[in-house]
Structure 1
Amino acid sequence: MRKILIPLFAIAVMTSCGAVKNSEGTSSPSISTYHDKAFSDAYASIKAENLKRNLYVIASDEMEGRDTGSPGQKKAGEYIVNYYKNLGISHPKALGSYYQKVPSDFMKKRGGGNLPDSENILAFIEGSEKPEEIVVISGHYDHVGTKNGVVYNGADDDGSGTVAVMEIAKAFQEAKKAGKGPKRSILFLHVTGEEHGLFGSEFYSDNPVFPLANTVVDLNIDMIGRDDPANRGKQYVYVIGSDMLSSQLKVINEAANKKTNNLELNYKYDDLNDPEQLYYRSDHYNFAKHNIPVAFFFDGIHEDYHKPTDKPDKIDYPLLQKRAQLIFTTAWDIANRAERIIVDKK
């Protein structure tokens, strides 16, 4: 997650009949929906050991801290791309590859100094019924690099989000292989340049591969592998922004949580006036500023944040699994419900 503040300027799986109305009049998933075998198998495929295996690669010393445009980041990007190729998950056809170049000049004009060219990585599963409508699941794969010969591995920031996006993609692909692929398309977006100024997500929102008008939601994952001092040992996750633009998104996420791992959803930072200003500090903001509903999943600011001690052996992998399963479940609902979620707030 970017350290410097930015200036302020039901799961209705295969049919619509699975949704019920809650007290606010919006659709929430019925319990029976969660017993669909395709969903259950895909959900169960998200495993702590898989997340751990990938994170020990992404956050290894070999990746040299994954600074934007660095050889180490490019090596991490190659690992991510090969992962998708091995799963049979392709890239957007219009892009022509998994890479969207983010030019040095673009970043330089926005305060990026002399950063070299870098790349966003995009993997894509086309929807079976509403392919033009896009659900984005995002996380940044850059970190802060190496300083004075010491590697800042960035296992939580944002290695945890990176591997969660990868594992969620695998779960959707499992469902597709079982004949129950998502109705809406899913874009798995690994952005670069977050630590220097949210550059990758800004470049994507300025140069979208799919029209922003067709983008239903961004579920952004930035640090979900640890706990912070205020929540030590708790089964929780911070959720930020889920009701800023849509009255439905928070309801959907809460319903998904209750029917799955029932984590404590903490809304401490879900406030535009919060001193930490976290709503503006990760990649979801570059979707929200275009009036696209967002939810930002976060574990808090812990003692290893932006330090070389943010290493993969400190990750709580069972909790990382539960948080990834929650995000998958929320995405499953949004991708498969009869109508796209509404934008009814400003």
Structure 2
Amino acid sequence: MKNAKYFILPLAFALLQSCAANLSYSGSPFQKSYQSITSAELKTHLYIVASDEMEGRDTGSEGQKKAGKYLIEQYQKMGVSHPKSMTSFHQIVPTEALKGRRGNLPQSENILAYIEGSEKPEEVIVISAHYDHIGMSDGQIFNGADDDGSGTVALLEIAEAFQMAKKSGNGPKRSILFLHVTGEEHGLLGSLYYANNPIFPMANTVANLNIDMIGRCDPGNCDKEYVYVIGSEMLSSDLKKISEKANASTTSLELNYKYDDPNDKDRLYYRSDHYNFAKNGIPVIFYFDGIHEDYHKPSDTPDKIDYVSLQKRTQLVFATAWELANRKDRIVVDKKVK
């Protein structure tokens, strides 16, 4: 028995190492923030953002500006401000930068909310969603509840979760930028403008987690708890591993990689705002629920959203962002741009 201490000490060290490896997801600050993301709050926000009052949120329209005002009010209520270098939450996107598929569009705005990191504030995680949709046609309103009201309200809940952690003294070590982009439906124009005029240098942008449609299901998957994860290993050998660890430690969704191929016939890797980050060498994940029967139709309304699935997918994005923001080392970029 005299050598027992030589056995016990390595065992204790191994246990401590094991606990440390899971600390980011098992600790109280994470759990409280994670559990603050609720289907009820997502539903409350979405019934406003995708209401008839917003008139389909077409780029530069009064309806879109109303939706933007609501988003800013929510950030102000939770105590989240805009980047210090800006005088407001608005990054003006001039009409010259909004030459879309239907010609020139009115001036619009990207909306930027920001939580500064406590240890590595110069390194930034961008979480994005587009808050525009396709407006009205022939007297019908295209509410865009899933596309992309779902991603828009997910950002609000994720920001609130991080802000809760910050208020308890456990804010993210790296900075988080919540980027609501305009003009996606006309050709990824708002995110292109941000990429060309970044508030934070692209070299300091660690990753982009982009959310575009996470509130519904597509044919063949409606009996599953899943989400399509696109682009997670295109540029970084770290990001997919982090995503899968976050999922295994929290939501346990089926991560579907069907579209995780730049040669896929639907070319979804190129079709949402993350691509304007990816082509600049920034690792990305695009979260997506698939193409359903109400895609780009007036019938994409808040009553058809699966709010439990929306909650779980939002929590997955939060858990992934939590790890990216708090891990010791910045993730590597070790693959070529596609």
Alignment partner for residue 198 of structure 1, among 172, 184, 188? 188
Q: Secondary structure at the match of 2:113?
A: strand
Shift of 1:114: 2.5
Match of 1:161 in 2: 151
Alignment partner for residue 170 of structure 1, among 152, 160, 163? 160
Q: Contact (CA 8 Å) 2:54, 2:63: kept in 1 or not?
A: yes
How far does the alpha carbon of each residue in 1:86-140 deviate from its partner, in whole angstroms, 9 at most, with x for none? 11100001121100001111122x6551210000000000000000000000000
1:94 aligns with 2:69: no
**Structure 1 residues not aligned, in runs of 5+:** 1-16, 21-28
Match of 1:38 in 2: 29
One-letter amino acid of the structure 1 residue matched with residue 69 of structure 2: E
Q: Contact (CA 8 Å) 2:39, 2:310: kept in 1 or not?
A: yes
Q: Contact (CA 8 Å) 1:239, 1:266: kept in 2 or not?
A: yes
One-letter amino acid of the structure 1 residue matched with residue 89 of structure 2: Y
Tell me how far apart the structure 1 counterparts of residues 295 and 217 of structure 2 sit (CA, whole Å): 11
1:307 aligns with 2:297: yes
Match of 1:125 in 2: 115
Using structure 1 for the length normalisation, give the TM-score: 0.91
Using structure 2 for the length normalisation, give the TM-score: 0.93
Q: Contact (CA 8 Å) 1:161, 1:223: kept in 2 or not?
A: yes
Residues 137-152 of structure 1 aligned to structure 2 (within 5 Å) = 137-152=127-142
Q: Secondary structure at the match of 1:272?
A: coil
Shift of 1:34: 1.8
1:321 aligns with 2:311: yes
Alignment partner for residue 63 of structure 2, among 59, 65, 72? 72
Tell me how far apart the structure 2 counterparts of residues 259 and 60 of structure 1 sit (CA, whole Å): 35
Q: Contact (CA 8 Å) 2:89, 2:113: kept in 1 or not?
A: yes
Alignment partner for residue 340 of structure 1, among 312, 330, 336? 330
Q: Contact (CA 8 Å) 1:18, 1:32: kept in 2 or not?
A: no
How far does the alpha carbon of each residue in 1:143-162 deviate from its partner, in whole angstroms, 9 at most, with x for none? 00000110000000000000
Q: Secondary structure at the match of 2:112?
A: strand
One-letter amino acid of the structure 1 residue matched with residue 197 of structure 2: N
Q: Secondary structure at the match of 1:303?
A: coil
Q: Contact (CA 8 Å) 2:90, 2:109: kept in 1 or not?
A: yes
One-letter amino acid of the structure 2 residue matched with residue 327 of structure 1: V
Q: Contact (CA 8 Å) 1:18, 1:33: kept in 2 or not?
A: no
One-letter amino acid of the structure 1 residue matched with residue 233 of structure 2: D
Q: Secondary structure at the match of 1:119?
A: strand
1:239 aligns with 2:229: yes
Tell me how far apart the structure 2 counterparts of residues 199 and 153 of structure 1 sit (CA, whole Å): 20
Number of matched pairs: 322
Shift of 1:35: 1.9
Q: Contact (CA 8 Å) 2:182, 2:189: kept in 1 or not?
A: yes
One-letter amino acid of the structure 2 residue matched with residue 287 of structure 1: F
Greater RCO (CA < 8 Å, at least 6 residues apart):
1
Match of 1:8 in 2: none
Tell me how far apart the structure 2 counterparts of residues 51 and 268 of structure 1 sit (CA, whole Å): 27
Shift of 1:324: 0.3
One-letter amino acid of the structure 2 residue matched with residue 37 of structure 1: S
One-letter amino acid of the structure 1 residue matched with residue 34 of structure 2: Y
One-letter amino acid of the structure 1 residue matched with residue 27 of structure 2: D
Shift of 1:32: 3.8
Q: Contact (CA 8 Å) 2:24, 2:323: kept in 1 or not?
A: no
Tell me how far apart the structure 2 counterparts of residues 18 and 176 of structure 1 sit (CA, whole Å): 25
One-letter amino acid of the structure 2 residue matched with residue 341 of structure 1: I
Tell me how far apart the structure 1 counterparts of residues 104 and 285 of structure 2 sit (CA, whole Å): 32
Tell me how far apart the structure 1 counterparts of residues 257 and 108 of structure 2 sit (CA, whole Å): 34
**Which structure has the bigger radius of gyration?**
2
Q: RMSD of aligned C-alpha atoms?
A: 1.5
Query: Between the two proteins, what is the percent identity of the paired residues?
Result: 66
Q: Contact (CA 8 Å) 2:146, 2:214: kept in 1 or not?
A: yes
One-letter amino acid of the structure 1 residue matched with residue 189 of structure 2: F
One-letter amino acid of the structure 1 residue matched with residue 282 of structure 2: I
One-letter amino acid of the structure 1 residue matched with residue 128 of structure 2: S
1:36–1:295 CA distance, 2 compared to 1 (3 A): same
One-letter amino acid of the structure 2 residue matched with residue 116 of structure 1: P
Tell me how far apart the structure 2 counterparts of residues 211 and 19 of structure 1 sit (CA, whole Å): 35
Q: Secondary structure at the match of 2:104?
A: coil
Give 4+ residue runs of structure 1 displaced > 2 Å after superposition. Answer: 17-20, 29-33
Tell me how far apart the structure 1 counterparts of residues 291 and 98 of structure 2 sit (CA, whole Å): 26
